[in-house]
Structure 1
């Protein structure tokens, strides 16, 4: 082999060391498998995100043995919501299945922490390693590894299975012919960091009434919300996001952010003088917009599979959960004695994702379609906070924190809705 090429083997190659990839690698390594975790960047590195973690994500972090009492974490009690002149505080629901607190931590060190946790479990992390293509078996067209470049050297990493955890654009998924579905919700988020004199807070803050500044008389309310999340030490993650199923709708999100922040209280210092970063944005294709999530030796997880909440735009929860699920399926499959048995186990992966999230994502898509009507969005933003039972129900639905065994009326309503909609 030429000096400019190298080759390594593993039981599983995981492409992308974000939350989905690191969670997958951690759980695989915990099962005793030899895992290569490939990351194109070098840690620490930033990712565009709101940085807020709901109790769903906290549950997964606890399962990974992450020390949530160490410095760097900001613990949150819930959400402080603003709309139509109202302000209400909604504590995270007290459910049997999830912790009663959330967290905030910047992606710059959050992702690094997760990758280090995977390393400690036994995964082999290779940074500055840009995966360029999949390697296919010429006879079966099955994935048998990937090619990558690092320091000008071409590498080939072979494994019986490859996990694509390389984000929403997912070069790996596209290489396998798995394109994003256009009938799924598409969110767009922008955010910026500010350092102010305002003291830290233990609530996430969200504004439900985003008005399109280009619409006549500012009467068009957009489906989405603005956020102010406490990062700690006077630093704030400030941003907003909108979501739609109609790809023809065009919104200038930077102008929208400028218009919204200009209307915030002056004493909060969310202004140009206190900004510490430029405005950055990214797309949030959600609702499991790539299918199937398993094909010919490759599994999709996290954003690569469109595992983003269509209502909140939250992706870290589902990245961690789908990473764990993919690791469980892979571990079971590789323990089977024949190729046919292994394939049957792997083909069950999309069904597990459907069982776990399909109904909720379908319901979320229907809600997104409804609030795409400015009149419906205005009605929800105006009235959802006025009535305690309704706002509790909306909060649980937004964060996907329903307890199916609870006797609470809101939980029963959401559970019935989830059973009624198809997991499509």
Structure 2
């Protein structure tokens, strides 16, 4: 006789995905005393394609979760070293009334497990090696998910009052609910690997803004080298879909050429990465819609919450997860979902104008000639690059009007005049 189906698991909130957005959502819900279940298809610790760099915005969220003390053994860095056209500028993170003036480089296999474990300590239930294979719907309302334990192949149901979609950039679960990327918005394409380096504990992350191959020919995109502090460096290269020929770009070739032409002081042996390069595509600038239904909501990469200026997504994953957790807590307290329906408006207020400016900028830098000219001019001025850093990392200050704020507000005023593209 066939075994009876397992009894459904029941919870206030089911979170699909245990990465930055999902774990942050679970953390804040559990901290508020709510029942929350997280399903993560991989088993921690697990690798994730990423630059591993945490900016001050991300550090602030980790600090609010009480986790930065657990990063003391990881690599702390002071700012960005920009390299282009034979010029090198070391730019410290700016002083800010809200965000710290430092970042960390932490491998995702450690970082994601750290946040997920804290959510569990606070009362969240975490099922790893468990994939959400399809939503459960009743009368068109999402009421949970069918999940599959990858080890045994057993399927069972998890019923929830609300479902948070946090399964990353590809978001199969989100697509099952009808989410899709607005193709007029930029998308990032990136590849990375690790190399051993004598400068693995440098106080700077490095960005190469004028990338060339071994023949001296300009290549699209920008490169990065992030010291990990464990004897290795994270080396990668990325570009935006606003580059006219991005579909024909061989990212493996870009990675090989960048590793071979990186500054000699890194000591990179381009033929000896510590692991095979991995890459992927990243929806950006809140390009995924819809982000919400009556009982479900998308956060982090699953909502396209990545900054087109610099490809940073971890901070926005933490922030959107926290935002949604607060709305869900209110919805559960009131017994209806009206609080959750404020999410799109809150997203627009928090990121809308900034990401519109970023999208405009991404179109400009998608043109290699414009990109080279902008970097050539920019690298001539330290003060100019300092405020560029503040804008690109979304670290503008509200308490004073300096050059960065003035430049950004001027650009924002122009962007307000440009109609939004149709969704």
Q: Which TM class, normalised by the smaller chain length?
A: over 0.9
User: 1:70, 1:101 → 2: CA distance?
Assistant: 12
Alpha-carbon distance in structure 1 between the residues aligned to 2:414 and 2:327: 28
Matched, 1:238 2:261: no
1:391 aligns with 2:385: yes
* Shift in Å, 1:293: 1.3
Give the Å deviation of 1:412.
Answer: 3.0
Q: Is 1:347 aligned with 2:341?
A: yes
CA RMSD of aligned residues (A): 2.0
TM-score by length of 1: 0.93
Shift of 1:346: 1.6
1:21 maps to which residue? 22
Q: Is the 8 A contact 2:194 2:232 kept in 1?
A: yes
Equivalent in 261, 265, 284 of residue 286 of structure 1: 284
Q: Distance in 2 between matches of 1:169 and 1:290?
A: 11
Give the corresponding residue for 1:319. Answer: 317
Indicate how the Cα distance of structure 1 residues 388 and 198 shifts in structure 2: closer, same or farther if over 3 A, else same.
Answer: closer
1:389–1:410: 8 Å Cα contact kept in structure 2?
A: no
Matched position secondary structure for 2:48: coil
Q: After the TM superposition, which of the residue ranges 398-407 and 359-368 deviates more from structure 2?
A: 398-407
Distance 2:55 2:413 in 1: 23
Partners of 1:391 and 1:164 lie apart in 2 by 37
Aligned twin of 2:142? 143
Following TM superposition, by how much is the alpha carbon of 1:323 offset from its aligned partner in structure 2, in angstroms? 0.5
Q: Structure 2 matches for 1:290-309, cutoff 5 A? A: 290-309=288-307
2:360 is matched with which residue? 366
Tell me, yes or no, if the aligned pair for 1:17 and 1:111 is still in contact at 8 Å. Answer: yes
Which region of structure 1 is more displaced relative to structure 2, 142-151 or 194-203? 194-203
Instruction: Give the superposition deviation at 1:68.
Output: 3.1
Q: Distance between the aligned counterparts of 1:240 and 1:3, measured in 2?
A: 51
Cα deviation for residue 413 of structure 1 reads 2.5
Mapped partners of 1:118, 1:173: distance in 2? 23
Q: Tell me which residue corresponds to 2:329.
A: 331
Partner SS, residue 360 of structure 2: helix
**Equivalent residue, structure 2, for 1:226:** 223
In structure 2, do the counterparts of structure 1 residues 35 and 69 end up closer, same or farther at CA, with 3 Å as the change threshold?
Answer: closer
Deviation at 1:5, TM superposition (A): 3.1
On the 8 A contact 2:41/2:129 being kept in 1, the answer is yes
Quote the Cα distance in structure 1 between the aligned partners of 2:387 and 2:398. 13
* Matches of 1:133 and 1:191, distance apart in 2: 31
- Give, in angstroms, the shift of residue 354 of structure 1: 1.0
Unaligned segments of structure 1, at least 5 residues: none
Residue 93 of structure 1 deviates from its aligned partner by 1.0
- Note the C-alpha offset of 1:121: 1.3
The alpha carbon displacement at 1:230 in A equals 0.9
Residue 68 of structure 2 corresponds to which residue in structure 1? 67
- Alpha-carbon deviation of 1:210? 2.1
Q: Return closer, same or farther for 1:287/1:195 CA change in 2, 3 Å cut-off.
A: same
Aligned to 2:252: 254
Who is 1:180 aligned against? 181
Q: Is the 8 A contact 1:404 1:412 kept in 2?
A: no
Over residues 332-391 of structure 1, what are the superposed CA-to-partner deviations in whole Å (9 max), with x where a residue is unaligned? 111114x4xx2x322110111111111111111100111122221011121112112311
Which aligned pairs between 1:1-150 and structure 2 lie closer than 5 A? 2-68=3-69, 70-137=71-138, 139=139, 141-150=140-149
CA distance in 2 between counterparts of 1:199 and 1:367 reads 32
The answer to whether the 8 Å contact 1:24/1:327 transfers is yes
**In 2, Cα distance between the equivalents of 1:290 and 1:334?**
26
Distance, in Å, in 2 between the alignment partners of 1:202 and 1:267 is: 14
Cα displacement (A) at 1:2 = 4.8
Would the aligned equivalents of 1:213 and 1:256 in 2 still touch at CA under 8 Å? no
Post-superposition offset of 1:285: 1.3
TM-score (norm 2): 0.93
Distance, in Å, in 1 between the alignment partners of 2:177 and 2:236 is: 34
C-alpha deviations, 1:146-183, integer Å up to 9, x for none? 00111221110011100000011111211111111111
Q: Is the 8 A contact 1:60 1:320 kept in 2?
A: yes
For residues 413 and 167 of structure 2, the distance between their equivalents in structure 1, rounded to whole angstroms, comes to 32
For the 8 Å contact 1:221–1:378, the answer to whether it is kept is no
Q: Distance in 2 between matches of 1:199 and 1:298?
A: 42
- The more displaced of 393-402 and 265-274 is 265-274
Are positions 1:380 and 2:374 aligned together?
A: yes
